Amino acid sequence: SEAQAVGAADAALGSVLDSLRRKGWYDDALVMVTSAHGGSPDSGGDPGRGYTLEDPVRRVPFVVKMPGEPEARQVVTPLQHIDIAPT
């Protein structure tokens, strides 16, 4: 199910972050996390069904942990995957 996939991705990312902390690399690390697409409320848990150009599908997570940044910031400017490399 979609919820299980999100849980598995969350656990995998947590494992990577925990490893960075154990090795003392977390504070100096640049971590970027994104997704291929957002979720569709009409998909019924089927990732191949119900995708449109509606807002929930176009809204894709793009989370960046910058080296030395003590707190999170939210950027409201719309971005695209093509923006990742220049970032």
**20-32 tens-digit pLDDT:** 999 999 999 999 8
Burial class (CB in 10 A: 0-12, 13-18, 19+), 65: middle
Query: What is the structure's pLDDT at 37?
Result: 63
The model carries a pTM of 0.66
